[in-house]
């Protein structure tokens, strides 16, 4: 799993960016928010997320900061929300607006995004409202303390052929039930029983 890519910005459009890192050009889909924040700097660093459209077709998404990437991960964990839909949300709304809409149950704002219907907006709110909690939203709100262990377990489950959103939900449920004191192996074994 690639955490971030840093290098020379070769090309930038409102929908994708190409970064040359040590002679390799990486193309990543980006949101309008990320497009704006990158600016015209020659040196660029984007935090990445890899999503599989099919088993043999990975796509890279790039984000200016980890807060946007973490919210993206939460959004794609919702059934019916793919990488493109989540990216469209970031192009239409800021991360804070999306978070506030979920916490306050603002279906109207979420369904104002192209491709997000009422049922999908409701599902996003139902699935993510408890994960976001109540009160002040911070940029690191979506990063649990056991994030590294969970990411390793999730990566292993995906390599074993399990659907990423389903595996992510199973791991969240296990962490919520058993707490954060689990090893990677324990998380994987518990998830295998629930998948």
Whether 32 is covered by a domain: the verdict is: yes
Domain of 99, CATH number, reads: 1.10.150.20
The answer to whether the beta carbons of residues 44 and 38 sit under 8 Å apart is yes
Q: What are the backbone dihedrals phi and psi of residue 34, each rounded to the nearest 5 degrees, phi first?
A: -65, -40
Q: Which residue has the higher pLDDT, 138 or 114?
A: 114
DSSP for residue 2: -
Whether 139 is covered by a domain: the verdict is: no
Q: Find the domain containing 48 and state its range.
A: 4-63
Q: 63, 89, 104: which is the final residue of a domain?
A: 63
pLDDT score of 78 more than 70: yes
Are residues 50 and 79 located together in one domain of the fold?
A: no
DSSP for residue 68: H
The answer to whether the beta carbons of residues 141 and 132 sit under 8 Å apart is yes
For 8-63, write each residue's pLDDT tens digit.
999 999 899 999 999 999 999 999 889 989 988 889 999 999 887 666 677 899 99
Whether 137 is covered by a domain: the verdict is: no
pLDDT score of 109 more than 90: yes
Whether 81 is covered by a domain: the verdict is: yes
The answer to whether the beta carbons of residues 68 and 99 sit under 8 Å apart is no
Domain of 180, CATH number, reads: 1.10.8
Domain of 34, CATH number, reads: 2.40.50.140
Are residues 159 and 180 located together in one domain of the fold?
A: yes
Q: 63, 87, 111: which is the final residue of a domain?
A: 63
Q: 63, 86, 112: which is the final residue of a domain?
A: 63
User: How much is the pLDDT for 180?
Assistant: 67
Q: pLDDT band at 184, cuts 50/70/90?
A: confident
Are residues 17 and 52 located together in one domain of the fold?
A: yes
Are residues 72 and 128 located together in one domain of the fold?
A: yes
- Per the structure, the count of domains in the chain is 3
Whether 140 is covered by a domain: the verdict is: no
Cα 57 to Cα 41, 60, 128, 170, 194, distances in angstroms: 30, 10, 27, 24, 26
Whether 152 is covered by a domain: the verdict is: yes
User: How much is the pLDDT for 44?
Assistant: 93
Whether 170 is covered by a domain: the verdict is: yes
Are residues 151 and 180 located together in one domain of the fold?
A: yes
Are residues 44 and 8 located together in one domain of the fold?
A: yes
Whether 84 is covered by a domain: the verdict is: yes
CA distance 102 to 5: 30
pLDDT score of 153 more than 90: no
Instruction: Encode 170-194: b = buried (16+ Cβ within 10 Å), e = exposed.
Output: bbbebbeeeeeebebeebbebbeee
Average confidence (pLDDT) over 61-77: 91
The answer to whether the beta carbons of residues 66 and 143 sit under 8 Å apart is yes
């Amino acid at each position: 799993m690639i955490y971030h890519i840093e290098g020379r910005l070769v090309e930038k459009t409102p929908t994708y960016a190409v970064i040359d890192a040590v002679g390799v050009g990486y193309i990543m889909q980006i949101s309008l928010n990320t497009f704006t924040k990158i600016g015209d700097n020659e040196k660029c660093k984007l935090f990445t997320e890899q999503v599989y459209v099919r088993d043999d077709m990975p796509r890279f998404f790039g984000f200016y900061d980890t807060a946007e990437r973490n919210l993206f991960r939460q959004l794609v964990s919702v059934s019916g929300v793919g990488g493109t839909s989540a990216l469209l949300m970031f192009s239409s709304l800021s991360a804070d607006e999306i978070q506030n809409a979920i916490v306050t149950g603002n279906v109207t704002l979420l369904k104002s995004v192209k491709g997000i219907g009422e049922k999908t907006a409701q599902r996003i709110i139902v699935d993510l409202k408890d994960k976001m909690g109540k009160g002040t939203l911070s940029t690191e709100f979506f990063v649990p303390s056991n994030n590294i262990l969970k990411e390793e377990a999730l990566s292993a489950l995906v390599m074993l052929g399990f659907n990423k959103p389903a595996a992510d939900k199973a791991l969240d449920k296990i962490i919520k039930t058993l707490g954060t004191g689990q090893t990677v192996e324990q998380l994987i074994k518990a998830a295998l029983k629930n998948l």
